[in-house]
């Protein structure tokens, strides 16, 4: 098996799976597809190492490399962390010096998200814990109206129209957002970074994706409930038809020989024999 190392431009987010596939092969992953659809298998280094440990060494995935960084950490670095380890434990071990309002981001500064509390456990996708200081993150900027400058569209590595997706997401126009390939957004944050109006575009896109997923899940549940109801109705109709068919058949009659054997010896035999017993 031959290996070849290649140098790619140092441009964010060239490390993304779809972007890296296009840089290395010149082929673009189709909308809604994967790199395997064009004959390319893209694997993260950590994933490949975990597969080797699981398949060859027989070791389950119980730990992963986590980067601890940020000005609020005095001993930054990469550590092997067990899955389920509280974030607080890792940060304290790295010399975490929290401020009055500490902020910890799981992931990078653009694609990461702020943790609600520090007891969140390490999971399989926890690649980085960023603990910035107040000066490192800067002052929060006020969100303003979109001026349609198209700077976000120029910065989008997925060739999307973030300004249109923003309007569709804000207006709850789920069908139009889906038609404009919202699912292809990799949430890299480049659009929000270059936005002169300080619009948190990624937050709108994540919310819209979550709402679309919830709607589709509800539609699937409704379709399954409808299928169960229709199946039950069909079963009841079959049972009703079967009962009606049974009622159409003539009643069961004994053969003449058995009827003669069961018949009384003379008319009124049963009543006449019972009368004396009732008087006594």
Number of other CB atoms surrounding residue 46 within 10 Å = 13
Question: Is-contact 38 190, C-beta < 8 A?
Answer: no
pTM over 0.85: no
Measured distance CA(152)–CA(161) in Å, rounded: 8
Q: Which two tokens stand for residue 122?
A: 């390490």
Dihedral of the CA atoms 265, 267, 269, 270 (nearest 10)? 120
Domains along the chain with CATH numbers: 59-130 (3.10.20.600), 141-246 (no CATH)
Q: Collect contacts of 139-146 with beta carbons under 8 A, ≥24 apart.
A: 141/198, 142/198, 143/197, 143/198, 143/199, 143/200, 144/197, 144/198, 144/199, 145/197, 146/197, 146/199
Higher pLDDT, 102 or 138: 102
* 142-186 pLDDT, tens digit each: 999 999 999 999 999 989 999 999 999 999 999 999 999 999 999
152 is in an annotated binding site: yes
156 is in an annotated binding site: yes
- Band of the pLDDT at 42, cuts 50, 70, 90? confident
188 is in an annotated binding site: yes
195 is in an annotated binding site: yes
- Band of the pLDDT at 280, cuts 50, 70, 90? low
Helix (H) or strand (E) holding 228: helix 201-248
149 is in an annotated binding site: yes
Before 107, cis peptide (omega within 30)?
A: no
Furthest C-alpha separation in the chain = 118
* 197-208 pLDDT, tens digit each: 999 999 999 999
- Ordered DSSP codes for 86-104: BHHHHHHHTTB---SS---
Measured distance CA(178)–CA(169) in Å, rounded: 10
Strand order in the sheet with 63-69: 77-82, 63-69, 128-130, 105-106, 113-114
Measured distance CA(111)–CA(260) in Å, rounded: 94
Contacts of 200 (CB under 8 A, 6+ apart): 143, 192
Q: Which two tokens stand for residue 148?
A: 């349609």
Residue 225 has pLDDT above 60, yes or no: yes
Residue 279 has pLDDT above 80, yes or no: no
* 186-198 pLDDT, tens digit each: 999 999 999 999 9
Contacts of 154 (CB under 8 A, 6+ apart): 194
191 is in an annotated binding site: yes
5 is in an annotated binding site: no
- Band of the pLDDT at 266, cuts 50, 70, 90? low
Paired strand residues for 80: 65
Strand 128-130 versus strand 63-69 pairing type: parallel
């Amino acid at each position: 098996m031959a290996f070849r190392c290649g140098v790619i431009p140092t441009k964010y987010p060239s490390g993304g799976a779809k972007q890296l596939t296009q840089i290395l092969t010149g082929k673009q992953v189709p909308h809604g597809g994967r790199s395997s659809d064009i004959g390319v298998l893209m694997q993260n280094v950590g994933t490949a190492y975990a597969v080797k440990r699981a398949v060859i060494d027989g070791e389950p995935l119980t730990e992963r490399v986590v980067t601890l960084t940020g000005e609020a950490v005095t001993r930054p670095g990469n550590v092997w962390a067990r899955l389920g380890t509280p974030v607080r434990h890792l940060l304290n071990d790295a010399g975490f010096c929290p401020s009055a309002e500490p902020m910890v981001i799981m992931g990078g500064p653009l694609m990461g998200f702020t943790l609600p509390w520090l007891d969140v456990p390490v999971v399989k996708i926890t690649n980085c814990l960023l603990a910035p200081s107040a000066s490192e993150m800067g002052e929060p900027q006020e969100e303003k109206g979109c001026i349609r400058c198209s700077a976000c569209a120029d910065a989008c590595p997925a060739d999307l129209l973030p300004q249109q997706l923003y309007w569709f997401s804000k207006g709850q126009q789920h069908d139009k957002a889906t038609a404009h390939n919202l699912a292809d957004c990799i949430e890299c944050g480049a659009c929000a970074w270059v936005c002169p109006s300080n619009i948190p575009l990624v937050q709108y896109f994540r919310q819209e994706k979550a709402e679309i997923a919830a709607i589709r899940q509800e539609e699937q549940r409704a379709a399954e409930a409808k299928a169960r109801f229709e199946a039950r109705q069909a079963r009841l109709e079959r049972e009703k038809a079967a009962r009606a068919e049974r009622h159409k058949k003539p009643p069961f009659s004994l053969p003449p020989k058995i009827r003669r054997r069961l018949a009384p010896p003379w008319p009124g035999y049963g009543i006449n024999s019972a009368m004396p017993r009732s008087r006594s």
